[in-house]
Amino acid sequence: MSWLAEPQVRAIAAPPPRLVREHRFVERAVFAGGLPGCGKSLITALLGSFKGVEIQIYKEEMEHICSLRYLGRMEEDAATAVIRLMTDMDLYNVMQSRETNFRFSDCSSIFRNPGTLRYLRRLFQPGDAAAADRIRSQRPILQILMHNLLVLIPPVFRALGDSLRVIEVVRHPLYMVKQWHLYMDRYGADPRDFSICFDYRGRSLPFFALGWEEVYLAANPMDRVIHSMDRLTRRGEEVIQALSDSERARFLRIPFEPFVLDPWPTIGRIERLLGTERTPLTLRELKRQNVPRKRIADGIPLPIYRLNGWQPAGRGATERAELDRRREFARQQATPEGMRVLDRISAEYEARYMEGIL
């Protein structure tokens, strides 16, 4: 019998071994994110200005692991072991500026985030064992950015336990709808879409369409956007309800609109959540992000934001007028049923997070 056949024989003879990773680098980690278009890049850049918090790392592979677990295609012990392994590798690498983003125009670049010189200096510091020693002595806080954070986070809670902190950014659906719409047709159809997809009757659907495939396929692109935001939001609420009291104590939700108008109460909550404190870089990063703002839409005109549908606020426009402008964009392409859903989730968001703003 050839050695190639041996794994199959062993699999028949005995159950596969349970996967483990017991010795860890990561003592503190924060996973931050939210739905596409929620403004998470602002928050993750700001987090990197806090004492001990590393620059955000966007790991598609982390989302892939959690997406596979969402689809039931990865065992819990495998997901736990790989999440622990990957977060340890991420911290080990960032502490010696390996796999760190030096592409100037990217939002995750060291040139677009606080602490640029810190990562440049690490290029010339001793690596390998010396990097491991720095981790043990400095106890840095690893920061991972994740799309669709809440629906994907359960395996991370199980893998990282008490070392994990989670920050979700939420935003008014009308401020996210254009970016979603610009991307919607790429799911499962564009080689540059790196989402986990599954086959449904010969069609490639994104992982989050599981359980409502027929609705997804029957909808036009704008209605798909609306239903996706609605279902992902509701699924996220179910995840929060399923958290234990100790897990919920390690979770913070940041509504984008009140934050950009008055960030200071939230900054205090971030300090308490992470057990750290703001630095002079925090105020500098707030200024770079034009926070606090007079109006919600007064963001910074980066090319990547414009590419994803950002537009400056109209001169003299009220907050309600800005929302009405975005609603009209959706109305021109959505069905009446889609607009009923969009109006419902918009009203729910406003009642919960925008009291005193509109």
- CATH assignment at residue 290: 3.40.50
Is the domain of 281 the same as that of 331? Answer: no
Total domains, the chain = 2
Tokens of 209: 């369409």
Please name which of 141, 166, 153, 150 lies closest in space to residue 32, comparing C-alpha atoms: 166
β-bridge pairing 57-58 and 203-206: unpaired
CB-based contact 25:92 (threshold 8 Å): yes
Residue 13: pLDDT band (50, 70, 90) is low
Whether 151 is in a domain gets the answer yes
- On whether both 338 and 263 belong to a single domain, the answer is no
pLDDT number for residue 358: 86
Radius of gyration of the chain from its Cα atoms, rounded to whole angstroms: 22
Containing structural domain, residue 211: 172-242+314-358
Please tell me the least confidently modeled range out of 13-27, 141-155, 276-290, 336-350: 13-27
Is the residue at 215 inside a domain? yes
User: Are 144 and 279 contained in the same domain?
Assistant: yes
Same domain? For 265 and 354 the reply is no
Q: Are residues 224 and 273 located together in one domain of the fold? A: no
Residue 288 lies in a domain: yes
Q: For all residues of the chain together, what is the average pLDDT?
A: 93
Give the residue-averaged pLDDT of 157-183. 97
Q: Please indicate, yes or no, if residue 300 is contained in any of the structural domains.
A: no
Pick from 295, 322, 337: which residue ends a domain?
295
Residue 147 forms part of a structural domain? yes
What pLDDT does 55 receive? Answer: 96
| Chain CA centroid to CA 158, Å | 18
Q: Is there a domain that residue 306 lies in?
A: no
Q: Look at 39-53, 109-123, 246-260, 301-315 and tell me which has the smallest mean pLDDT.
A: 301-315
d(CA 135, CA 125): 13
Helix (H) or strand (E) holding 273: helix 264-274
Is 227 found in the same domain as 120?
no
- Residue 301: what pLDDT? 63
Tell me the two tokens of residue 264: 């200071």
C-alpha torsion sign, points 345, 346, 351, 352: positive
Does residue 222 contact residue 334 with C-beta atoms inside 8 Å? Answer: yes
Task: Give tens-digit pLDDT for 195-232.
Answer: 999 999 999 999 999 999 999 999 999 999 999 999 99
Question: Which residues have a Cβ under 8 Å from the Cβ of 88 and sit 6 or more positions away?
Answer: 21, 24, 25, 26
User: Which residue, 349, 145, 153, is CA-closest to 251?
Assistant: 153
State the average pLDDT over residues 244-259.
Answer: 97
Statement to judge: residues 108 and 191 lie in one domain:
no
Do 238 and 261 sit in the same domain of this protein?
no
- Angle at 119 (CA atoms; ends 113, 125), nearest 5 degrees: 175
39 and 256 Cβ atoms separated by less than 8 Å: yes
Residues 91 and 233 in one domain: no
Nearest to 81 by CA among 160, 180, 198: 160
Residue 259 lies in a domain: yes
How sure is the predictor about 194, in pLDDT bands with cuts at 50, 70 and 90?
very high
**Degrees to nearest 5, angle at CA 147 with 144 and 151:** 105
Residue 203 and residue 253 in one domain:
no
Q: Which residues pair with 165 in a beta bridge?
A: 30
pLDDT band of 1, cuts 50, 70, 90 = very low
What's the burial of 357, exposed, middle or buried (CB within 10 Å: 0-12/13-18/19+)? middle
Q: Specify whether 209 is located in the same domain as 336.
A: yes
105 located within any domain: yes
Q: Which residue matches tokens 């989050």?
A: 208
Residue 111 has what pLDDT?
92
Query: Are 235 and 251 within one domain?
Result: no
* In contact, 20 and 81? CB cutoff 8 Å: yes
Cα-Cα-Cα-Cα dihedral sign, residues 254, 259, 262, 263: positive
Categorise residue 6: left if φ over 0, alpha if ψ from -120 to 50, beta otherwise.
alpha
pLDDT bin (cut points 50, 70, 90) of residue 313 is low
